[in-house]
C-alpha cells in the first residue's frame, strides 16, 4: 500500500515526538535520525493489510482530526509546535475513550519495533549490542 508524502511526513512527526532527539536523558538519536521511513516501507511490504490500514486510520485521526477536537485548534499535527504535539499525545493518553487512549501506544509500539531494534540505539541506551549489523531496512537511513 503506497502512502502519500504528507502521510509519511505526519507519521515521521508523530514518531519524532515520541522518540525525540537530544533528550535530557542523554539520548542524542531520535526517530528523525535513524531513517524510520525505510522501516515504514518494510512494515507496509510485510505486515498484514489490516495493520497497514489500522496505522493509516490511526494516523488520520491523530494528524488531521485530533488537533481540532482535542486541542480545539484548526490545525494538523504538522502545523503544531513540538510542545503542542506532545501535549496532544499526552491528552490522548488520558482520554476516557479507549480507542483514543491507545492511539499513542499504537504509534509507540510500531515505532519502537524500528527505532528500538537498531544497534546504534541500543548503544546509546547502554544496552549490550548483540549484533553490530543493523536490519536490512536500516542500511540506508541509520547513522
| Tens digit of each residue's pLDDT (9 = 90 or more) over 86-143 | 999 999 999 999 999 999 999 999 999 999 888 888 888 888 877 778 888 887 544 4
Distance (Å, whole) CA 23 – CA 44: 29
- DSSP helix/strand/coil, 112: helix
Maximum separation of any 2 CA atoms in the chain, in Å: 46
Q: How many CA atoms lie within 13 A of 123 on its CB side?
A: 10
Residue 118 grid coordinates: 537498531
Angle at 36 between CA 34 and CA 41, to 5 degrees: 145
Global pTM reads 0.89
Amino acid at each position: 500500500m503506497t502512502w502519500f508524502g504528507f502521510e509519511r511526513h505526519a507519521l515521521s512527526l508523530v514518531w519524532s515526538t515520541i522518540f525525540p532527539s537530544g533528550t535530557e536523558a542523554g539520548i542524542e538519536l531520535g526517530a528523525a535520525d535513524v531513517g524510520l521511513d525505510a522501516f515504514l516501507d518494510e512494515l507496509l511490504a510485510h505486515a498484514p493489510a489490516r495493520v497497514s490500514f489500522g496505522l493509516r486510520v490511526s494516523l488520520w485521526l491523530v494528524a488531521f482530526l485530533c488537533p481540532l477536537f482535542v486541542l480545539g485548534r484548526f490545525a494538523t499535527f504538522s502545523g503544531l509546535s513540538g510542545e503542542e504535539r506532545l501535549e496532544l499525545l499526552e491528552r490522548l493518553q488520558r482520554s476516557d475513550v479507549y480507542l483514543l487512549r491507545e492511539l499513542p501506544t499504537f504509534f509507540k509500539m510500531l515505532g519502537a519495533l524500528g527505532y528500538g531494534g537498531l544497534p546504534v540505539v541500543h548503544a546509546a541506551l547502554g544496552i549490550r549490542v548483540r549484533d553490530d549489523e543493523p536490519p536490512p531496512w536500516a542500511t540506508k537511513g541509520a547513522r
